[in-house]
Chains A and B, each alone.
Chain A
Amino acid sequence: MSLQLILFVLFGTIAAVSSVLMITRANALISALFLILNFAGLSGLYLTLNAQFIAVTQVIVYAGAIMVLFLFVIMLLKPEHEKYFSHQPKLKIFAFFIAFIVFIQLVFMIFVSHPSQGNNASVAASVKAGTIEEIGKQLYTNYVLPFEAAGYLLLAATIGAIVLAKKKFE
């Protein structure tokens, strides 16, 4: 057992179990906390893949910003007790059945197509691809237009959120 395999099993188990717990808890607040645990596990998985910058960004942006927004809204609304699971049990069985079938299909496709054959970069190339230096260089040269577009998207989202959540005075 190499260290990478041990870390993959550890963080992968955290991510998988917390995602299942996330969709099965009745309380939305507990669900959000499990989603944060899932993001922490994913961040560890990114570290095992030598993607340092993405691992840090995952913690800062997802666990730090987006999930705080979610927790804030959940605590703000505090909805009354109501049935959150669908009251049609047929739909629930159908949903899990479909998800299971598609999962089997995906596993089959992944093993048939042998994705590990073509791409075996050296560890040095993999580490280099994940550094903030390489990503920043790409971001400000080849991808500068999408980067600016992302800035405009965030501006539009900020204005849209303010307009939508603003209290209407008549």
Chain B
Amino acid sequence: MNIPIEYYLILSGFMFLVGVAGVLTRRNAIIVFMSIELMLNSANLTLVTFSSYMGNSTGQLFVFFVMTVAAAEAAVGLAIILAMFRNKLTLNIDDINILKW
């Protein structure tokens, strides 16, 4: 492995924090959801990096399971967004506050 492991870890941390900034600043529910996918992917990059640098495939198995969970989460989350849009005709998460006390 020619290049230092730190490069991959810093790229992964950068992408994770871009995702955090997206969740905190955007108000469109779908874009908030896509930012969460971005954060999951940056965690995947870290797992694959360590798996590859240690010559052990366990990290890549975890990436496989994370992808499964992300697919399930996307299906259920988009169904919730669809049901929410049908009731309130908006995607702005500032307007959807029926669970807020």
A interface list, Cβ under 8 A from B: 2, 4-5, 8, 12, 15-16, 19-20, 22-23, 28, 31-32, 35, 38-39, 42, 45-46, 49-51, 53-54, 57-58, 61-62, 65-66, 69-70, 73-74, 76-77, 79, 82-87, 91-92, 94-96, 98-100, 102-103, 106-107, 110-111, 115-116, 119-123, 125-126, 128-130, 134-135, 138-139, 143, 146, 150, 153-154, 156-158, 160-162, 164-165, 167
CB-based contact A54/B6 at 8 Å: no
Inter-chain contacts of A65 with B (CB < 8 A): 71
Q: Contacts A119-B5, A138-B58 given; 6 further ones with Cβ under 8 A?
A: A19-B19, A45-B8, A96-B25, A99-B17, A110-B9, A129-B52
Interface size bucket, B side?
A: 35 or more
Inter-chain contacts of A85 with B (CB < 8 A): 25-27
Q: Between A and B, how many residue pairs show CB distances below 8 Å?
A: 249
Nearest Cβ in chain B — how far from A136, in angstroms?
A: 10
Q: Taking the complex as formed, is B96 at the interface, i.e. its CB lies under 8 A from any CB of chain A?
A: no
> B-side binding surface: helix, strand, loop or mixed?
helix
> A-side binding surface: helix, strand, loop or mixed?
helix
- Inter-chain CA distance A69–B81, complex, in Å, is 12
4 pairs of A and B residues whose beta carbons are closest in the complex: A121-B55, A125-B55, A157-B72, A95-B24
